[in-house]
Structure 1
Amino acid sequence: MKEKYIVITLGLLPFIMVLGNSMLIPILPTIQQALQLTNFEIGLVLSSFSVSAAVLIPLVGVLSDQYGRKGLIITSMILFIGGSMAAIISGFLPNERSSFYLLLMGRIVQGVGAAGTTPLAMALAGDLFQQEKRSKVLGILEVYNGIGKVIAPIIGATAALFAWYSAFYVYPLVAALILYGILRYVGKSETARNTVSIRDYIHKLKVVLQREKAWLSPLFFTGGLGLFLLFGTLYYLSFLIEETYHIDGFFKGTAFAFPLGAMTIASYWTGREIKNNRQFMTKLLLIGLLLVSISFALLIFKHDLSSLMFLTTIAFGGLGFVLPCANMMSTSVVKDEERGFVVSLYGTVRFIGVALGPIVFGEWMVEVTQMFVYCFLLILFASIWLFTKMDMMKVIKMGMSKL
Structure 2
Amino acid sequence: MQRKKHWELVAVCTVPLIMTLGNSMFIPVLPTMSKMLHVSPFQSSLLITVYSVVAIILIPIAGYLSDRFGRKKIMIPSLIIAGAGGIVSGLAALLLGDNAYTLILAGRLLQGVGAAGAAPIVLPLVGDMYNKESDVSSALGIVETSNTFGKVLSPIIGSLLTLLAWYAVFLAIPVFCALSVLLLAFLLKAPKQQGESGTFHEFYGSVKLIFKQKGRWLSAIFLVGAIGMFELFGLLFYLSETLEERYGFDGIVKGSLLAVPLSVLCLASYITGKTIGENKRLMKWLTVIGLLLLCLALVGLAWLHVRGLWGFFIFIAAGGLGIGIALPCLDAFITEGIEKEQRGTVSSIYSSMRFVGVAAGPPLVSLALTWTAPSLFYSLAAVSLLGVLTSLFAIQPKQASR
**Is the shorter-chain TM-score for this pair beyond 0.5, marking a shared fold?**
yes
Q: Tell me how far apart the structure 2 counterparts of residues 335 and 94 of structure 1 sit (CA, whole Å).
A: 49
Which residue of structure 2 lines up, in the alignment, with residue 20 of structure 1?
A: 22
Do the aligned residues in 2 keep the contact of 1:331 with 1:339 (CA within 8 Å)?
yes
- Alignment CA distance shift 1:124-1:283 (3 Å): closer
Q: Give yes or no for the alignment of 1:103 onto 2:104.
A: yes
SS in 1 for 2:100: helix
How far the C-alpha of 1:116 sits from its partner, in A, is 2.2
Q: Tell me how far apart the structure 2 counterparts of residues 124 and 99 of structure 1 sit (CA, whole Å).
A: 37
Which residue of structure 2 lines up, in the alignment, with residue 57 of structure 1?
A: 59
Give the number of equivalent residue pairs.
Answer: 396
Any unmatched runs of 5+ in structure 1? Answer: none
Residue by residue over 1:133-189, the C-alpha shift from the partner in whole angstroms, topping out at 9 and shown as x without a partner, is: 974765543443232121111100111122211112221111112233344455789
How far the C-alpha of 1:372 sits from its partner, in A, is 1.1
Any unmatched runs of 5+ in structure 2? Answer: none
Paired letter, 1:293: C
Which residue of structure 1 lines up, in the alignment, with residue 325 of structure 2?
A: 321
Q: Tell me how far apart the structure 1 counterparts of residues 341 and 79 of structure 2 sit (CA, whole Å).
A: 29
Alpha-carbon RMSD across the aligned residues, in angstroms, is 2.8
How far the C-alpha of 1:24 sits from its partner, in A, is 0.8
Q: Give yes or no for the alignment of 1:378 onto 2:390.
A: no
Identify which range, 260-269 or 137-146, moves more after superposition.
137-146
How far the C-alpha of 1:7 sits from its partner, in A, is 4.2
Do the aligned residues in 2 keep the contact of 1:125 with 1:134 (CA within 8 Å)?
no
Matches within 5 A, 1:2-401: 6-94=8-96, 96=98, 98-124=99-125, 135=136, 140-185=142-187, 192-194=194-196, 196-304=198-306, 305-331=309-335, 337-367=341-371, 368-387=373-392, 389-390=393-394, 392=395, 395-400=396-401
SS in 1 for 2:300: helix
Q: Tell me how far apart the structure 1 counterparts of residues 282 and 33 of structure 2 sit (CA, whole Å).
A: 44
Identify which range, 331-340 or 20-29, moves more after superposition.
331-340
Q: Tell me how far apart the structure 2 counterparts of residues 281 and 189 of structure 1 sit (CA, whole Å).
A: 27
Q: Tell me how far apart the structure 2 counterparts of residues 117 and 75 of structure 1 sit (CA, whole Å).
A: 9
SS in 2 for 1:245: coil
- Alignment CA distance shift 1:196-1:56 (3 Å): farther
SS in 1 for 2:320: helix
- Alignment CA distance shift 1:104-1:278 (3 Å): same
SS in 2 for 1:397: coil
Q: Tell me how far apart the structure 2 counterparts of residues 180 and 332 of structure 1 sit (CA, whole Å).
A: 29
Paired letter, 1:74: I
Do the aligned residues in 1 keep the contact of 2:31 with 2:41 (CA within 8 Å)?
no
- Alignment CA distance shift 1:91-1:218 (3 Å): same
- Alignment CA distance shift 1:339-1:176 (3 Å): closer
Do the aligned residues in 1 keep the contact of 2:224 with 2:390 (CA within 8 Å)?
no
Structure 1-normalised TM-score?
A: 0.88
SS in 2 for 1:206: helix
Q: Tell me how far apart the structure 1 counterparts of residues 223 and 388 of structure 2 sit (CA, whole Å).
A: 10
Q: Tell me how far apart the structure 1 counterparts of residues 192 and 400 of structure 2 sit (CA, whole Å).
A: 31
Do the aligned residues in 1 keep the contact of 2:287 with 2:329 (CA within 8 Å)?
yes
Paired letter, 1:67: F
Q: Tell me how far apart the structure 2 counterparts of residues 48 and 365 of structure 1 sit (CA, whole Å).
A: 20
Paired letter, 1:376: A
Do the aligned residues in 1 keep the contact of 2:60 with 2:345 (CA within 8 Å)?
yes
How far the C-alpha of 1:268 sits from its partner, in A, is 1.2
Identify which range, 178-187 or 216-225, moves more after superposition.
178-187
Q: Tell me how far apart the structure 2 counterparts of residues 191 and 179 of structure 1 sit (CA, whole Å).
A: 21
SS in 2 for 1:309: helix
Do the aligned residues in 2 keep the contact of 1:62 with 1:196 (CA within 8 Å)?
no
Identify which range, 378-387 or 360-369, moves more after superposition.
378-387
Q: Tell me how far apart the structure 2 counterparts of residues 384 and 120 of structure 1 sit (CA, whole Å).
A: 29
